[in-house]
Structure 1
């Protein structure tokens, strides 16, 4: 049984926040990734531009 005034352990806080918000931050930063890998991501602007119908310019 824990005391109500006891500080919450960091791992418990992270687990609780992950359950509510999910994992929103990537494990690596842009400078740690291969530039070619970033260009091939499905969520990139190049992929979005390729999906525009011809009549939209």
Structure 2
């Protein structure tokens, strides 16, 4: 168990380990926008547009 002495600030690494122990590593440190990841599937946008209901003027 980490040192939880009253008045002692925990380091960012200690805080991260404590949170990961409780919640797990559920979120990446960076987003796909920051990493430059995207879809190379040209049909992805076409599929999304095809899903718009007619009353939304798609």
When normalised by structure 2's length, the TM-score is: 0.44
When normalised by structure 1's length, the TM-score is: 0.45
